[in-house]
Amino acid sequence: MNRQLTDRRAQLTLAALAVALLGMLVPARHLVAQTQTVTVRDAWVREAAAGRAVTGAFMVIVNSGDTPRALVRGTASVGDTLELHEMKREDGMMRMSPVQRIEIPAKGEAALRPGGYHLMLFGLKAPLTATDTVRFTLTLDDGSSVQVAAPVRSMQGRMP
């Protein structure tokens, strides 16, 4: 009787260990993807001709969570500086200026579009053409980050 109980306990312990080990085998990246409440769609970067060191990036940032979030900074695979910008009409002229953060409402989205909020890339070392992809790491106000792969597209006649 005692022997049987001990065996049973040993079996349960082994089963618990197996479950724990299986849990460790699930890739961490998969777990992060499941809990991510902020995602990005329709991302693109304006093409930049040779000699042009600056361009803009656009996207829709979607917050499916119950907590408002904000984009506070980011990095890109091209260029040496990324700034958050806003373009506004002032005194009849379109002006753009850096902003500290771009708010993403709870259960809502922030649209980064030509003529409004956008990301500005500075210090491009090579031209960007329509076959290129730019990778971004966007950091939110809670310290989490979102990875974005954005195709390069042409956008003629419009700023930025």
User: Where does this chain bind Cu ion (CB under 5 A)?
Assistant: 85, 96, 120, 160
Q: How far apart are CA 6 and CA 26, in angstroms?
A: 31
Q: How far apart are CA 110 and CA 62, in angstroms?
A: 7
Shortest distance (Å) from residue 144 CB to Cu ion: 25
The beta strands (E) that lie in 50-130 are given as 55-63, 69-76, 81-90, 93-98, 102-104, 108-112, 117-122
Our CB check for Cu ion shows the closer of 65 and 99 to be 99
Q: Which residues of 115-144 are buried (b: 16+ CB within 10 A; e: fewer)?
A: eebbbbbeebeeebeeebebebebebeeee
Are 52 and 122 contacting, i.e. CB atoms less than 8 angstroms apart? no
Shortest distance (Å) from residue 30 CB to Cu ion: 35
Our CB check for Cu ion shows the closer of 69 and 85 to be 85
Our CB check for Cu ion shows the closer of 8 and 88 to be 88
Shortest distance (Å) from residue 142 CB to Cu ion: 25
Our CB check for Cu ion shows the closer of 116 and 160 to be 160
Shortest distance (Å) from residue 132 CB to Cu ion: 19
CB closest to Cu ion, residue no: 85
